[in-house]
Each structure stands twice: as structure tokens, then as C-alpha cells.
A and B are shown apart, each in its own frame.
Chain A
């Protein structure tokens, strides 16, 4: 703990800089210079690049950025600088295996490598989607009842017992604890009580997170999110999550949601920022594993060409240079009850699995609506495992994605997106089984994928 407190103290004593100057004069300027220095470019037709020198250059640029800039504390408006030795020690300290869950239901996450013989693991759930209280538990069950799902996550409660949940308000404590009660009840319901989870999604400030750090809610074998703010920023709220979990013993999942088209500029710069963020998160978030979740500046979704490229190159960069446990989120644009959701999920699953990540999903409908279900998570796992069984190469993965993109790319310019239907209109919430129409869509897409040559 004391070495972390020393890092924390730097947020009080480091160089002062306004946030705007951090964003523009530090982050944006440094990225531009590094993109030029390493001649980083992307190609819309090479969504999964098979150029190892590109992945290595992205890594080197990200490493240079982390060592040069460090992190920014928004609460104190100061820079938290790191020495190169500290960045290196952070890499050395990165767990190569990590046990989550307990009893018969435990799983061991591991740092994947390209072409790994071991299959990826799957977190099932809609991370952060707002789910109405009456269908919260059935929604969780729809994921954790799937045999291929290894670990649980869930949506958020925005109302409890008819009262709206406000962040930073006592209701956040109520919502976070209630959420975790529902998740535990769902795990018991399906006979997998020891399944590990990424929980406390209803805790947006530190309040719910701290209140849930008890074995009745988040167990030490579970993980919680330690977000980084865009870009390379922390604040006292998120530091509070870290000091609490260091003492309690919980697993930290870093979450820098790098915005592709944001301060990093285009995909190459955003990939550099993502690499730097993970390296910084080793120190500032004490990350046991990293959530790889770049988002598109306009479309949000992880299934856009630009974001898929970033996911694929960051996964490769770490696999080749600093193996780490990376879990790549799937946040499709489309919601349940649409064919496009299944195509988006398939493309994302192939990219994430082949480029050395574990998978989490799906935050369907951009994570904005309760339009999500366990059925697309089943497809996510099936497609990822198929690509693993087929020993799919990077080049082959790229061809697959290029075949899938035309099946859904139109929805990014569609007015209103492609939200589909809420969970309770695609599942029977009593039996917690997909309704016929949704099941048929799943079977149709699965058959199409098989017809295209995927060994499902």
C-alpha cells in the first residue's frame, strides 16, 4: 500500500497544469509527434493488420508516451510523473494468470498470446446497460445460464423500488448493493454461485463501490472497474476505488475508454493512447487486468472499422511486447431483435479472440438501453471459440471482418441507430428463454456464418 500512497502523493505535489493544456499541449501534441515519428498509418481494408512491425511501433510509441507524460490528476490539476523504471516495473508486476470466482465455478484468466492454444474466456453481461429493476435478475440469468459463459457482469439499476438513482447520492449505495444481490441470486438460480464477476456497475462515483466491498456483495475473488478518464487522467474518486480495493483485496480492472477520433486523433494515435493508458494503469489503477474498450467519437460502437482496428492492434502490441490479461469489450450499435446485432457481435468476437484478448459482452444498443440478452453473448462465445478451433490467422480474421462489415455498416448512418427491442420483448422472462422470433434470427445468422465457412 505504501508505494501506492507515494504515487497518490504525487497528485498533490506534481507540476500544475490546466486540464485544457494537458489535453492539447501534452496529450494531443505528443500523439501527433509520435504518430509522425513512427510513421503510423492505418488502412480501412486491413481492419486486422498482420504487420508485426506496425503492432511493435504502436507499442513503442505508447511506451514513449506513458514515460514522457505520466498521468494527470483532474482533482488537483497536477501531473503524476513516472520514471521509465516505474513503467517497466509496472509491466513486470502485471499478473500473467488470475483466478476469479471460487469453488467449482472459478476460472483462471491468463495473458493470451497470438495463436494461443488455450481458448479465450468470456464475461457474459451487458456492462452498464440500464436495466429496469423488474427484469434485472432475469436479464443476468439469461447470460450466466449460458454454458460457454465463464464470468459474470451486468447492467445498471437506474431506479430502485420506484425511486430514481442519482450518482453520488445515497441511492447509489442502494442501487449498487441491490444490483449485486440480484447477480448473486442469479448465480444461485443457475447453480453457479462461485462464478467470478465484474460487478458494481451501478456505482459510478466511488460511493457505491466502497459500499459494496463486502463479501455479501463483491467478494475478494470478484473484480470491479477502476476507470481512467479521457485521456490518461485519474481523479480522487477513482483513486479511492484503488486504495479501498488494495486493502480489501479485490481485483482491479482498469478501464480507459479511449475515444477514437478524440484527443488521440485517428485510429493510429488512438491506439498509441490506449497502449499508454494500459501502461499507466498498471501503476495508477493497480490493474490486475485491463478492459480494452476504445469507443468511436461519433458512433460509440466497438464494431466500427476504426475501433476494430484499434482493438486488433493494441491486443497484438501487448501480446508481442508486454503480455497482459486483456479483456476486450463488445459494444455493438444494434440492439436485441435485430440481425445486425448478431453480425456486429460476430465481427467483434473474431477480432477480439484472434488478437489475444478475452471477451466481454455484449453492451448491445451502445449500452444505452435494456435491449440486450444472453443470446448474443452465446453467439459471441461460439464465434470466438470457432475462430480459435480453426486456428484463424490474422489475415483470415481480416477477411472474415471484411465479409461481415457490409452486413451491418449501414446502421452507423441510420437516423436513430438500430436499437431493436428491450429484453422483455425478445425473451420470455418467466422461462428466461429467447422468444421464437429472436431465436430464429440467431439461428439464421449462425447458419449464414456456417455457410461462409465458420466452424460453429
Chain B
């Protein structure tokens, strides 16, 4: 198999959400001596980009997005040791750590899952804490994994005050400047994000990825 064929197969495996094939083909590509950065950018990320585009256009649905994320994760486990020492700066593909959660008392996760999958597809290392997550747990996890971004979601209007409380908790612990705090959810507006002292919000998952990329560049 040629190098280009291997890369194309990796791309296809991500698009098909085939975790086993994605990790196996990545291993084969490494054994064949392909540049790990090329495997990442031309293979895995090209597939993830395409999945993201098709989701945005309505051609793909949530399962395709989640399966692609799963395939990407599996392949990255194979690829990661070879990326050590490579130039993966924050905000570029393969760089940046994000802790994401639906805040305490809110159990809605579809929007959060879509953003998490799209961020994973864009190359960020995403720690998804799930739903109804206590604020202290979110901050502690961000500290533990060395995140640059904390992204929190709430669908319920009556769970949104907890977003403000999270910013307060970061301020109280002297950690506010350390993190980019993004908020999201059906009722979250830019004015709300500004009022509670967050760094931004986005109307959809694709815009959230762009926002993370931009904010990490200027951080």
C-alpha cells in the first residue's frame, strides 16, 4: 500500500467511525515510516474535518460524530507516543486541553456532546466530565489535567446561575486568569457570558471550535 493510500484509509476509517481500523491503520502507517504529523493532519484530522462539515450540513447525525470521535481517540492512543517532542502548539491541531461538562443540576448533554466531539475532531484533548457535575469537580479536574479551557453547558435557565458560580469559584481560588472559560446552552447569550465574567459563547458547535482556536491563539 502506498503512503497516500494509507493516509486515505485512515481518513476513511475516521469518517466511517471504525475505531479498530483507524488504530490499526495508524499503527501500519507508523511502521511504514510515515511522518506522525502527516498521519495526524492529513489522515486523522482530514477525516474529522469532513465529518464535522457533513454534520453541519445535515448529511451526518450525532452517531456519526460520536463514532468519529471514538475512532479518533483510538488512533491517537497509537499515535501519541510518536508525537512527543513534535511542535504541537496550543490552538493548532493536536494541541490544547479542554475540560467540558454540563453544570450541576442539569442533565442535558446532547449539545455538550456535540461540542466535545467537534473539539476532539479538531484535535483538542477533551476531558468530558458528563452531566450534573459539581463545580468543584470541574475546577479540580481542570487543574489535574492541565487544561487551558473550561467549557460548561446548561440548557436549563435555572441551572445557568451555576455558571456564574463557577467563575466565582475560580476567582475565589485565584485561578481565574489561568483558564479560558466558555459557556454554552440554548438560553446562553453573549450578554450573559459577558455579565458573568466568562470569556465567550458560541451559537453552535462549529463556532465553538473556532472560538476555542481563536482564544487559545491569543492566550
Whether A368 contacts B158 in the complex (CB less than 8 A), given A259-B110, A262-B62, A262-B110, comes out as no
Q: Is the CB of B107 within 8 A of A74?
A: yes
Within 8 Å of chain A (Cβ to Cβ): is B216?
no
Q: Is the CB of B158 within 8 A of A230?
A: no
* A-B CB contact pairs (8 Å), 5 listed: A28-B67, A166-B162, A261-B58, A262-B61, A269-B61
Q: How far is the CB of B80 from chain A (nearest CB, A)?
A: 20
B58, B131, B161, B162 interface centre (most CB from chain A within 10 Å): B161
Whether A259 contacts B62 in the complex (CB less than 8 A), given A166-B158, A167-B158, comes out as yes
Closest to A230 in B: B110
A214 to B157, CA, bound (A): 25
Interface size on B (CB < 8 Å)? 24
Residues in A neighbouring B161, C-beta threshold 8 A = 164-166
Residues 373-410 of A at the B interface (beta carbon under 8 Å): none
Residues in B neighbouring A297, C-beta threshold 8 A = 61-62, 110
Within 8 Å of chain A (Cβ to Cβ): is B97?
no
Residues in B neighbouring A158, C-beta threshold 8 A = 157-158
Q: Is the CB of B104 within 8 A of A261?
A: no
Within 8 Å of chain A (Cβ to Cβ): is B152?
no
Within 8 Å of chain B (Cβ to Cβ): is A150?
no
- B146-178 vs A, CB cutoff 8 Å, 1 = contact: the mask equals 000000000011110110000000000000000
- A347-371 vs B, CB cutoff 8 Å, 1 = contact: the mask equals 0000000000000000000101000
Q: Is the CB of B157 within 8 A of A28?
A: no
Closest to A235 in B: B107
B105, B109, B131, B158 interface centre (most CB from chain A within 10 Å): B158
Q: Is the CB of A165 within 8 A of B158?
A: yes
Whether A366 contacts B157 in the complex (CB less than 8 A), given A166-B105, A168-B104, A168-B105, comes out as no
Whether A167 contacts B106 in the complex (CB less than 8 A), given A175-B158, A368-B187, comes out as yes
Using A24-B67, A165-B158 as known contacts, list a sample of 11 further A-B pairs with CB atoms less than 8 Å apart, ordered by residue number in A: A24-B63, A74-B107, A166-B105, A167-B105, A175-B158, A229-B107, A230-B110, A237-B107, A261-B61, A297-B110, A298-B58
Within 8 Å of chain A (Cβ to Cβ): is B204?
yes
A349 to B62, CA, bound (A): 29
- B60-78 vs A, CB cutoff 8 Å, 1 = contact: the mask equals 0111001100100000000
Residues 124-174 of A at the B interface (beta carbon under 8 Å): 130, 156, 158, 164-169, 172
Residues in B neighbouring A259, C-beta threshold 8 A = 62, 110
Within 8 Å of chain B (Cβ to Cβ): is A10?
no
Q: Is the CB of A19 within 8 A of B104?
A: no
Q: How far is the CB of A276 from chain B (nearest CB, A)?
A: 16
Whether A368 contacts B186 in the complex (CB less than 8 A), given A74-B107, A230-B110, A259-B110, comes out as yes
A101 to B203, CA, bound (A): 41
B58, B67, B105, B187 interface centre (most CB from chain A within 10 Å): B105
Within 8 Å of chain B (Cβ to Cβ): is A300?
yes
Q: Is the CB of A366 within 8 A of B186?
A: yes
Residues in A neighbouring B110, C-beta threshold 8 A = 230, 259, 262, 297
Within 8 Å of chain A (Cβ to Cβ): is B95?
no
Residues 44-88 of B at the A interface (beta carbon under 8 Å): 58, 61-63, 66-67, 70
Q: Is the CB of B70 within 8 A of A24?
A: yes
Within 8 Å of chain A (Cβ to Cβ): is B130?
yes
Q: How far is the CB of A74 from chain B (nearest CB, A)?
A: 7
Residues in A neighbouring B187, C-beta threshold 8 A = 130, 368
Within 8 Å of chain B (Cβ to Cβ): is A251?
no
Interface of B is mostly: loop
Closest to B107 in A: A229
Q: How far is the CB of A442 from chain B (nearest CB, A)?
A: 27
Q: Is the CB of B157 within 8 A of A156?
A: yes
Q: How far is the CB of B74 from chain A (nearest CB, A)?
A: 13
Residues 228-282 of A at the B interface (beta carbon under 8 Å): 229-230, 235, 237, 259, 261-266, 269
Residues in B neighbouring A166, C-beta threshold 8 A = 105, 158-159, 161-162
Residues in B neighbouring A28, C-beta threshold 8 A = 62-63, 66-67
Residues in B neighbouring A32, C-beta threshold 8 A = 63
Closest to A233 in B: B107
Q: How far is the CB of B212 from chain A (nearest CB, A)?
A: 20
Whether A202 contacts B158 in the complex (CB less than 8 A), given A130-B187, A167-B105, A300-B186, comes out as yes
Within 8 Å of chain B (Cβ to Cβ): is A96?
no
A32 to B60, CA, bound (A): 13
Q: How far is the CB of A225 from chain B (nearest CB, A)?
A: 13
Q: How far is the CB of A332 from chain B (nearest CB, A)?
A: 15
Q: Is the CB of A266 within 8 A of B159?
A: no
Within 8 Å of chain B (Cβ to Cβ): is A205?
yes
Closest to A202 in B: B158
Residues in A neighbouring B109, C-beta threshold 8 A = 230
Q: How far is the CB of A404 from chain B (nearest CB, A)?
A: 21
B131, B157, B162 interface centre (most CB from chain A within 10 Å): B157
Residues in B neighbouring A23, C-beta threshold 8 A = 63, 66
Residues in A neighbouring B204, C-beta threshold 8 A = 298
Whether A19 contacts B63 in the complex (CB less than 8 A), given A24-B70, A167-B159, A230-B110, comes out as no
Residues in A neighbouring B162, C-beta threshold 8 A = 166
Q: How far is the CB of A397 from chain B (nearest CB, A)?
A: 25
A204 to B102, CA, bound (A): 15
Residues in A neighbouring B67, C-beta threshold 8 A = 24, 28
Q: Is the CB of B70 within 8 A of A204?
A: no
Residues in A neighbouring B158, C-beta threshold 8 A = 156, 158, 164-167, 172, 175, 202, 204
Q: How far is the CB of B105 from chain A (nearest CB, A)?
A: 4
Q: How far is the CB of B77 from chain A (nearest CB, A)?
A: 16
Q: Is the CB of A204 within 8 A of B61?
A: no
- A93-106 vs B, CB cutoff 8 Å, 1 = contact: the mask equals 00000000000000
Q: How far is the CB of A27 from chain B (nearest CB, A)?
A: 8
Q: How far is the CB of A444 from chain B (nearest CB, A)?
A: 30
Q: How far is the CB of B168 from chain A (nearest CB, A)?
A: 13
Closest to B187 in A: A368
